[in-house]
Amino acid sequence: MTPLLPIVDRPIRFALVGCGRIAKNHIEALAKHGGRAELVAVCDNKPDALAAAVAATGAAGFASLDALLAGSDADIVVLATPSGLHSQQACRIAAAGRHVLSEKPMATKFEEGMAMVKACREAQVKLFVVKQNRLNSTVQLVKRAIEQGRFGRIYMSTVNVFWTRPQSYYDAAPWRGRWDLDGGAFMNQASHYVDLLDWLVGPVDSVHAYTATLARDIEAEDTGVMSVRLRHGGLASINVTMLTWPQNLEGSITIIGEKGTVKIGGTAVNKIEHWQFAEPHADDEAVKAASYDTGSVYGFGHPLYYDNVIKTLRGEADAAVDGYEGLRSLEILIAAYRSARDGQRVGLPLVF
């Protein structure tokens, strides 16, 4: 199959499949790129959700993915559907010769994530995986400090995701909290934070995890802890719960090194709460303007992420987070679930 050529003479045509909780972020992000991108189709199997999306966007509406692929001229299809459906949907989209953009996590099983990568590679279409938190101004400053060697050797890194998801959240969509379609607090809510840990201070060498379902009536976990050994020798931990009372409290990353200590906190790594290094740098002044308020845990990274997607499809850039990058955090999540199930440390890469 011949690879698709860069799109340079017209706006890139996007279609959105899944018009639920996260769809609004995608619609708003695309609207910021008018002239370079347009939303031509939306899809949902719930009539009310579909009607609302059509009314909000003016895009053509479809009740199924197959109908969308047959009836629209979209260049790229965005999957904002239940995570357990991403793999089979991505493979169908690739077979139809369209590019794929998948929300996190890219899949709930590692072999299904690999199937997505294989299908897109063989069809010679692009596979993008949304990791918009990498583009937060706060996170970008920390990434630069690491690349500049300002921390020296990194000893300890800690991620906390202390949010709340009441029972009504899970009851509103029967797929939430199911092993096959969603996973639990690690796989769904903390997926971005697992990615950030690996991207900032990884790669991960091994994990040991515990999970528990303490208060929610779901199959998967509402609370979990993960101990991590990093390839460079440092240690890390990820602590997650959806039981924080009465509201979201913290989404944070703390990094402790021999010459620097930083904590990005707030509800969604949106505030630099501590920034101290042995040697001064111009970025120390930029810290004052990097923090921002956010009304949701999603942040404001989607427009920036779409900018990279558009530039990639225009032949102006490489994908910041492709399918192979998406597999990295999925592998860590699967390792954590294996560890919690079997009660033992699990090394990476996974063995099948």
Give residue 352's pLDDT band: very low, low, confident or very high (50, 70, 90).
confident
- Tokens matching residue 192: 């971005």
Q: What is the tens place of the pLDDT at every residue in 95-127? A: 999 999 999 999 999 999 999 999 999 999 999
The packing angle between helices 302-313 and 23-31, to 10°, is: 60
Q: What is the tens place of the pLDDT at every residue in 60-91? A: 999 999 999 999 999 999 999 999 999 999 99
The rounded distance, in Å, linking the Cα atoms of 62 and 84 is 21
Is-cis flag, bond preceding 246, omega within 30? yes
Q: What is the tens place of the pLDDT at every residue in 120-157? A: 999 999 999 999 999 999 999 999 999 999 999 999 99
pLDDT at 298 over 70: no
The pLDDT of residue 293: 85
The pLDDT of residue 308: 97
Percent of the chain with pLDDT over 70: 98
pLDDT at 286 over 70: yes
The rounded distance, in Å, linking the Cα atoms of 340 and 352 is 17
The rounded distance, in Å, linking the Cα atoms of 183 and 337 is 10
The backbone torsions φ and ψ at residue 227, rounded to the nearest 5 degrees and listed phi first, read -100, 135
